């Protein structure tokens, strides 16, 4: 018995006095090999305890057991949570993740897609860049039948599933919360309104104002990339406003915290002068004083669901086209930065 060393096709070939190529073809049920020879090969293979080399066959078969992930940027705790959720599910299912970042550029995103394609990923999960327009850069994958799933920042495509939170409702609740604290002149600091996440939150913000009988002012919507610098720039802009706003809803905690810090350095009291609410429930929202009210965004869960969906599709358990979008719950967390009514 060959228990010490793995049995190879050469061992079988030697035993049957056949060429290794014939043995290899016989094991793969190749039509050129007669039924009788196939049976001899398979019988000896079983007797010797031959194990099919999955790694070598992987190089030839279509599956690589890798999944690509393209995210706008790595340095957000929300994205880290999403990736952790994806990693957990992928590892349990014996898949590897290849992760790349578009750095918020549609051009870089298109390069990432090509790289993923050339790396022969089995499927791809994408959260789109700030300035991506249309789905053309993903067509090469779809044409080859490589499944594509969008999460958080999504694009509409009939062949693709999207996983999101209810951004409209979140925007509505955040704004409604500020209104309930007595705010009447509320700024919304948001991102590119071509992106679903920001467009939906802006609609929620406008609806909440309308329902409270407050006129919406287009000048009260600030659009930027929502990073630290954007927070600083927005604070400078707010300080020049007359009258000052009494509420600020920011679509990202990092941006919100940086904006708050500059305002406080300039003698603005939060929440007395301006009430603040952010988005994502990043760790930073709990560290700043006053602690930042925010919308809890289930990143880890989003990552888990995305990976789970894609892998179920790849393993033939459930088609990705069976559901067009999955909406996860988010909730409002009220902290001291917005509580004006004690």
Mind listing the pLDDT tens digit for each residue in 198-235?
999 999 999 999 999 999 999 999 999 999 999 999 99
Judge contact between 135 and 159, C-beta under 8 A.
no
Under 8 Å CB-to-CB from 286, ≥6 apart: which residues? 292, 335
Under 8 Å CB-to-CB from 247, ≥6 apart: which residues? 178, 179, 181, 183, 184, 185, 186, 187, 274, 275, 276, 277, 338
Closest CA to 45 of 4, 14, 86, 82: 14
State residue 60's pLDDT score.
46
One fold for 66-166+299-329 and 167-297: yes
Would you say domain 167-297 falls under CATH 3.40.50.620? no
Instruction: Say how far apart CA 333 and CA 137 lie, in whole Å.
Output: 38
pLDDT, average across residues 323-341 = 90
Instruction: Say how far apart CA 109 and CA 126 lie, in whole Å.
Output: 9
CATH code for the part of the protein at 9-60: 1.10.260.40
Instruction: Say how far apart CA 129 and CA 145 lie, in whole Å.
Output: 23
Domain ranges of the chain: 9-60, 66-166+299-329, 167-297
pLDDT over threshold 80, residue 54: no
Mind listing the pLDDT tens digit for each residue in 132-183?
988 888 988 888 889 999 999 999 888 889 999 999 999 999 999 999 999 9
CATH code for the part of the protein at 66-166+299-329: 3.40.50.2300
């Amino acid at each position: 018995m060959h228990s010490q060393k793995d049995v190879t096709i050469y061992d079988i070939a030697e035993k049957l006095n056949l060429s290794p190529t014939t043995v290899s073809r016989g094991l793969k049920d190749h039509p050129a090999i007669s039924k009788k020879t196939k049976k001899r090969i398979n019988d000896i293979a079983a007797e010797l305890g031959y194990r099919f080399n999955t790694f070598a066959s992987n190089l030839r078969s279509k599956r690589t057991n890798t999944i690509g992930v393209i995210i706008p940027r790595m340095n957000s705790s929300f994205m880290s949570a999403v990736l952790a959720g994806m990693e957990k599910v992928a590892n349990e299912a014996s898949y590897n993740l290849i992760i790349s970042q578009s750095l918020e550029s549609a051009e870089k995103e298109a390069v990432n897609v090509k790289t993923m394609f050339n790396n022969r990923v089995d499927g791809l999960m994408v959260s789109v860049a700030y300035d991506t327009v249309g789905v053309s850069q993903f067509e090469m994958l779809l044409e080859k039948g490589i499944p594509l799933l969008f999460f958080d920042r999504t694009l509409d495509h009939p062949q693709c599933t999207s996983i999101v939170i209810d951004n409209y409702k979140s925007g509505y609740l955040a704004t409604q919360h500020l209104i309930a604290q007595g705010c009447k002149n509320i700024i919304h600091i948001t991102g590119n309104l071509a992106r679903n996440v920001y467009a939906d939150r802006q609609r929620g913000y406008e609806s909440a104002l309308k329902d409270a009988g407050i006129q919406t002012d287009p000048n009260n919507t600030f659009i930027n990339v929502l990073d630290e610098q954007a927070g600083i720039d927005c604070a400078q802009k707010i300080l020049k406003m007359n009258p000052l706003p009494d509420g600020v809803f920011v679509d990202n905690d990092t941006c919100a915290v940086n904006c708050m810090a500059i305002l406080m350095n300039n003698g603005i009291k939060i929440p007395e002068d301006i009430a603040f609410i952010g988005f994502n429930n990043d760790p930073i929202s709990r560290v700043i004083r006053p602690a930042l009210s925010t919308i809890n965004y289930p990143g880890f869960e989003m990552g888990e669901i995305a990976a789970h969906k894609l892998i179920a599709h790849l393993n033939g358990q459930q088609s990705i086209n069976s559901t067009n979008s999955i909406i996860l719950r988010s909730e409002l967390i009220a902290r001291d930065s917005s509580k004006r009514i004690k």
